[in-house]
Structures are given as C-alpha cells and as structure tokens.
Amino acid sequence: MESIDELLLKAEAAHGHLCAGQILGVRMALLGLDRLGISDPHGADRKRLVTYVEIDRCATDAVGMVTGCRLGKRTLKFRDWGKMAATFVDLTTGRGLRVVALEDSRELARQLYPHIENPGEQQMLAYRELPDSQLFREQWVSVTVDAAELPGSKGQRLRCSLCGEGVNFGRFVEVEGQRLCLSCARPDLRYWTLES
C-alpha cells in the first residue's frame, strides 16, 4: 500500500483541494483495507472489494481513490444517509468492515489545536495524527451483495414500453403486462420535469 502522504497527494489532485474530509476518507479506506487484508486494491485484489459509502461529501472521493472502487465499475455503492461512514466488503467472504467517523473528532481537534482558529486547519492536523480508535468506530458486518448489483452483472437489456429508452441490469417493473423503466413506472420520483 502507498503511504498516507502519497495517497493524500493523489486525493488532493483528484478532489481539487486538500481538506479534512480527504484525510478522513483516506484513513477510513486504509483502515478498511488493512482489516480485510487487502494490500493491492488497484491490482491483484481489485475484484475482491466493493465499498458502500453513506455520504456524498469530500471523504467519498478519497475513499474511492484509495480503494479503486468506482460508480462506473459498480464497485462503489452510494446510500444517501448523510453519515460519515463507509463499509468495505470482501466479496470472497461476504464480510465487511463498517467504519464510522466519530462525532467527537471535531471537538478532539479543537482541544489538540486550540491556538489555531480555523476548524478546518485544526481538523486537518488532528485527523492525520489521532489514532484510529479516537477517530473511528469499527463494526464487522456481513453483506450480501445482490447478484444484480455485482460488477460484471449484465442481465437483460430491454426497452421501456413507454419512453423507449434502453434499460440495463433488470431495472424495470412490469405494470399491467408492460415493462416500464423505473422513471416511467414512478414519474413522481423523477428528478426532472420536461420543459414544455
């Protein structure tokens, strides 16, 4: 595994800036990989790992960078729960380590560096040096990744009976004998409305 300094340089380049979230994300991912015994996530171990992230903030970019898990590879799963937490799952065993950043860490950073005014600066310094046990809670969990969620899963590709758009990975529902994409089946959940 690369050193934390090397990883932070890469995280900064990929994310656009260095921030407390990058440091937390890099450390969460390093902890998860270490506990799972995964040392080469971009090479030999790249098919072993799926990562679930529970927040869409800075740390998420760093987690993806360190683990090599990406949305486009179907190895990064997003649960929009607003929690600074991630679960690193070893597909060969179905075991995962869920890592949650502790709420107290900001206060710890303030106590460690009271002479620094900017909370972001306090946190960047503290999050580099505090031990994992003071920054994170760890839980071993078992995770069943549904076959339709796995990398490489294809399933049937079909066209929605209403909009005609192609749909992958079995993401359709049958309504009165018609196969509809999820957007046509539940227009109330669409994130868009068509301009007239």
Rounded to an integer, what distance in angstroms lies between the CA atom of residue 134 and that of residue 160? Answer: 50
Q: Which of 19, 66, 76, 97 binds Zn ion (CB under 5 A)?
A: 19
Rounded to an integer, what distance in angstroms lies between the CA atom of residue 60 and that of residue 63? Answer: 5
Q: Which of 7, 8, 11, 21 binds Zn ion (CB under 5 A)?
A: 21
- Edge-first strand order for the sheet with 136-142 is 76-78, 49-53, 85-90, 95-101, 136-142
Query: Cβ of residue 162: shortest distance to Zn ion, in angstroms?
Result: 5
Query: Cβ of residue 144: shortest distance to Zn ion, in angstroms?
Result: 29
20 contributes a contact to Zn ion by CB under 5 A = no
Nearest CB to Zn ion, comparing residues 58 and 124: 58
Q: What is the DSSP letter of 54?
A: S
What residues have CB less than 8 Å from 149, skipping those under 6 apart? 74, 77
Rounded to an integer, what distance in angstroms lies between the CA atom of residue 30 and that of residue 42? Answer: 13
Nearest CB to Zn ion, comparing residues 49 and 62: 62
Q: Which of 163, 173, 175, 182 binds Zn ion (CB under 5 A)?
A: 163
Query: Cβ of residue 175: shortest distance to Zn ion, in angstroms?
Result: 11
Nearest CB to Zn ion, comparing residues 14 and 71: 14
181 contributes a contact to Zn ion by CB under 5 A = yes
184 contributes a contact to Zn ion by CB under 5 A = yes
50 contributes a contact to Zn ion by CB under 5 A = no
Residue 91 near residue 77 (C-beta atoms within 8 A) = no
Find, among 66, 71, 73, the residue nearest to 151 by Cα: 73
Give the residues lining the site for Zn ion (CB under 5 A).
19, 21, 58, 160, 162-163, 181, 184
